[in-house]
């Protein structure tokens, strides 16, 4: 019996590499893995629905799911998770030394709806007293001019968002003091330059992020795997098959972390770091599935509504293919 041919667009992660090299194959599926950077995958999937299965911004998916005729259905696989306190950059002459100093400032963000920015705004509002509507946001390309929102937004009037000029970039504007701060998933080149004109708000971000995790038990989810709804409706079994394969591919990496004969990454203290992460976050520190991620998902759903991106909070179960909400037991 021939297998169903499906395309999968996803970046080259350790936790998905077994799917890319074929050492893990979803039951009944002949998978073509397209190793693409996330910005390209998101743009092509949201604008043109080019892939059968794709990694997608979780915030973008929540917006799509809040509208009639959502073209996607997700499975609870999260290829990208990241604490984002490290992604807040400020101009050194802006007078910003603590989070509350952001109030009333000009803040850049490549896209208002991008997941990293949603998490940053939500965390600043909930834990640091910086209301979402207390700053003016400027959107556009971080390093290359011309970036636009991938989805059309209808924001409330209290949220002030302005487009930067056609030839401007947020990274350069931050360096020159045309904006005071930048919320970014990528580290701006003007910070990497090391001239001191741009710095992180939280220089001790790892310490701050650990404290945040201890307080909330949240490891912020950035991306989710989605299936084009028309593909899913024709063969609903593929949701469980794909979910099972992603879990298996991730388990390989969990097992590799126990290998101490050689280092499989160029990180000299990787073994120590793995021990530290397990002690802090438990053995399954990068959880898939709904049960172990519900608090994180519910928090982002709340932030999405508070920031004017979605109209109302929905049940997390409604985001995922029902075939993936339970797994069989032997």
Q: Could you say which architecture CATH assigns to the domain 4-81+220-254+288-310?
A: 3-Layer(aba) Sandwich (3.40)
* Alpha-carbon torsion (61, 324, 71, 25), positive or negative: positive
pLDDT recorded at residue 326: 85
**Token reading at 55:** 């990694």
Which contiguous run of DSSP H or E holds residue 4? Answer: strand 4-10
pLDDT averages per 10-residue partition of the chain, 330 residues: 94 98 98 97 97 98 95 98 98 98 98 98 98 98 94 94 97 98 97 96 98 98 98 98 98 94 92 96 97 97 98 95 80
For the stretch 175-205, pLDDT in tens is 999 999 999 999 999 999 999 999 999 999 9
Domain limits, the chain: 4-81+220-254+288-310, 85-216
> Residue 149 and residue 159: Cα distance in Å, rounded?
15
pLDDT recorded at residue 126: 98
pLDDT recorded at residue 328: 62
For the stretch 123-132, pLDDT in tens is 999 999 999 9
- How many C-beta atoms lie closer than 10 Å to residue 163's C-beta? 12
Q: Does domain 85-216 have CATH number 3.40.190.10?
A: yes
What SS3 state is found at 227?
strand
Does this chain's domain 4-81+220-254+288-310 share its CATH topology with 85-216? yes
């Amino acid at each position: 019996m021939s297998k169903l041919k499906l395309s999968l667009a996803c970046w080259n992660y350790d936790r998905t590499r077994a799917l890319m090299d074929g050492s893990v194959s979803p039951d009944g599926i002949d998978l073509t893995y397209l190793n693409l950077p996330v910005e390209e995958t998101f743009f092509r999937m949201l604008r043109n629905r080019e892939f059968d299965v794709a990694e997608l911004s979780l915030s973008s998916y929540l917006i799509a799911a809040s509208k009639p005729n959502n073209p996607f259905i997700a499975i609870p696989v999260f290829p990208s998770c990241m604490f984002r306190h490290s992604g807040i950059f400020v101009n050194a002459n802006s007078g910003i030394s603590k989070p509350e100093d952001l109030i009333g400032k000009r803040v850049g963000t490549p896209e208002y709806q991008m997941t990293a920015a949603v998490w940053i705004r939500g965390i600043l509002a909930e834990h640091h007293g910086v209301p979402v509507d207390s700053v003016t946001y400027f959107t556009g390309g971080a390093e290359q001019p011309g970036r636009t929102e991938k989805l059309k937004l209808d924001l409330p009037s209290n949220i002030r968002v302005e487009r930067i000029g056609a030839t401007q970039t947020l990274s350069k504007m931050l360096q020159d003091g045309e904006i005071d701060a930048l919320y970014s998933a990528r580290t701006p080149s003007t910070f990497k330059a090391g001239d001191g004109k741009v710095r992180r708000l939280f220089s001790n971000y790892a310490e701050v992020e650990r404290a945040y995790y201890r307080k909330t038990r949240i490891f912020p989810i950035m991306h989710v795997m989605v299936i084009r709804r028309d593909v899913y409706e024709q063969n609903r079994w593929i949701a469980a098959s794909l979910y099972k394969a992603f879990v298996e591919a991730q388990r390989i990496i969990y097992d590799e972390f126990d290998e101490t004969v050689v280092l499989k990454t160029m990180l000299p203290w990787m073994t120590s770091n793995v021990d530290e992460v397990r002690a802090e976050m438990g053995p399954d520190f990068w959880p898939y599935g709904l049960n172990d991620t519900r608090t994180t998902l519910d928090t982002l759903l709340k932030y999405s509504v508070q920031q004017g991106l979605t109209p109302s909070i929905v049940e997390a179960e409604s985001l995922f293919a029902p075939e993936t909400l339970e797994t069989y037991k032997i």
